[in-house]
Structures are given as structure tokens and as C-alpha cells.
Amino acid sequence: MDAPRIGYCCTFVSPSGDEAEQRARNFRGPTIASIVRLGAAAPEKLEAVIAENLDILDRQIATVAALPALERLFRIQSGFLIGWSHPALAAGWTPTLRGEVERRLARAGAAARAADVRLSMHPAQHAILATTRPEALDNALRDIAEHTEIFAMLGYSGWHPHGACINIHGGAGSVGVDGLRAGLDRVPQAALNLLSIENDETSFGLDDLLRVGERVAILIDFHHHWIHSRGEWLQPGDPRVSALQASWNGVRPLAHISVSRENVIPGHCPDTLPDFPALFDSGHKAGHLRGHSDMMWNRAVNDLMRAHLSWCDIEVEAKAKNLASRQLADHCRAAEVHPA
């Protein structure tokens, strides 16, 4: 997977506002508790929801596979196998249902590979390796193990095959890089092969994470870096880009982008990169600037992302999902740098 790609995360937004179109492409999410409350009817409900979610996954992959090559990148939403490893639903997860999941995921993964669709997943925010709480680390390891199992059923094992990755945050900055290393020591090699860790806004910045780049792939979130550094937009020629590439060990790196919300900095010139010091001095708090935009409204940021496509793929974390990733892709195509 050497060609550049831009993708979206988890949820499909219908360009025309068609609710049926959206429903067909977005997972169902009853909670574990709501299923357990059904008592004797719980296994039947679980089986029905899982079957529906597997159908939806097929449609999600087919939707992305039908996009231009530049846009064949997709983050699968975590939790679609409801209660897969949770003891409360153990009785519902019969060998027959598990076997059906294995069969269907194998087919879905094969379809993604055949269409050259790059896949990723992002466990919940609690999946962190740097923590002072042993129970938190244990929970994170179980979550990572479940995602590793899902990717194995999809047909992905080894070092980031076809660019696949399970991305997490580092965790509590108070334990430092040594604490992160201690957490990494607990991760099985099969999971490490698929794992990436992204920089965040407050705890582990890019420079911190690059110190463990010899052990795990480092994913750069450009917006997080802008917040953490108080205003630096990482440039493609920055020496740290080479370190990021090295951490992926021959696989094309993955990155994230969003911009501060439109209604937080209304009237900002779309052709000028957001200036953190100026915004901060004018009264904007860092916490407000962290929020993800709806669309990729800033053309200067889009130009920068187009330049970064020379070495990485980019997941758009803007709230309008596929509409925002299409906006960035169209921006890049318009520049005739990366035609579809």
C-alpha cells in the first residue's frame, strides 16, 4: 500500500441526508446491560444484532471500496461485536455464533484486501498503557487483545499487514515514558505488531512518543500536536517525520487530522493556518481549540495535509465523517497532485 489515501472514521453521513442510507451503513449499538435485562430472550437478541452488524460491516467496506483509490481508508468502529469478551454475555456467545462471526469476518477482510481498502480500529479512551492503576492496565490489555482477535479473524496478522492498525493513546503523563514502556512490556507480540500509539494534547506529545518508536508504530495527530506544542504545524521536511516513518518499519504511516471547530473560531481566514498563540492571547482556551471541526474548512491546513500525503495516509477525524474526508480528498485532487 504505497499510494496515498485519505479516509474517515466509523460513521457514515448521507450526503443527501437520507436516513435509510445512513442506517444501512452504521452499526447498531444496544448496550450489554440492555441485552442482559432481556433475560431468557438475551441470546436471541444478541444473535440478531450481531448478524445485522456483520451485514453492515460488509456494506461499509463495499462503500469505501467503491470510492476513488485516494479515499480507500476506513476506521471500523469498536464495539460492533457487543460483549464479545464480556462475562455478562458469555452464555449468548455460543460456539455457533462465534463460528459465524469468524466466517463473516474472514469474508469481510478478504473483500477489503481485494479492493485495497486500508483498515484501522481505535479502542476506547480507557485503553491506555501508561497508568498508575493496575486494573486500568489490565482492562486496556483485554481491550487490545479483543481488537487483535478481531483483526486476526479479518485475516490480518504480522506487522501492520496492508497497513492495518489498532491505535491507542499513551495514557497518564505522570508516569512518563518509563511508565509507557512498562505497559508495552505487557503487550503480546501479536498485538504489538498491529498497535500504534498517537500523541495527545496534554500527556504524551510527539517527542515523548518517539522515544518508544523502536518498539511500536507512532501515529501523528497533527491537530493534537498543534495543541500540545502551542502552535506548531508539523512540516513534511521536519526531521521527526523520518523518525515516524522508521517506527512503522517499512509500512506507510497513518496520521490523523482535524481542525478547531468552526463555531469556536468563526470568521477565521480559511487560507491561513490557525495561529495558536494569537488565538490563545485573544481569549481562546486550549480546551476549546481541541474540539474537532465538522468539516475541513481550513484550506491552508488542507494544503499542508496534501504535502504530508507524500509519506503518510490520513484519517480525517472531523465530525462530518465521510463528507469531511471527501472535502479534503477533493482539495487534493483539485491541486492535481494526487488524482483519483
Q: CA-to-CA distance for 147 and 163, rounded, in angstroms?
A: 15
From first to last of its 340 residues, the chain has per-residue pLDDT tens of 689 999 999 999 999 999 999 999 999 989 999 999 999 999 999 999 999 999 999 999 999 999 999 999 999 999 999 999 999 999 999 999 999 999 999 999 999 999 999 999 999 888 999 999 999 999 999 999 999 999 999 999 999 999 999 999 999 999 999 999 999 999 999 999 999 999 999 999 999 999 999 999 999 999 999 999 999 999 999 999 999 999 999 999 999 999 999 999 999 999 999 999 999 999 999 999 999 999 999 999 999 999 999 999 999 999 999 999 999 999 999 986 544 4
Q: What is the C-alpha R_g of the chain? A: 20
- For the full predicted model, state whether its pTM sits above 0.75: yes
Give Cα 299 to chain centroid, integer Å: 23
Look at the block and give the residue holding cell 496478522. 157
Cα distances (Å, whole numbers) of residue 234 to 4, 32, 218, 221, 311: 18, 41, 14, 10, 13
What's the CA dihedral at 59, 33, 167, 327 to 10 degrees?
50
Domains defined for the chain, CATH in brackets: 6-337 (3.20.20.150)
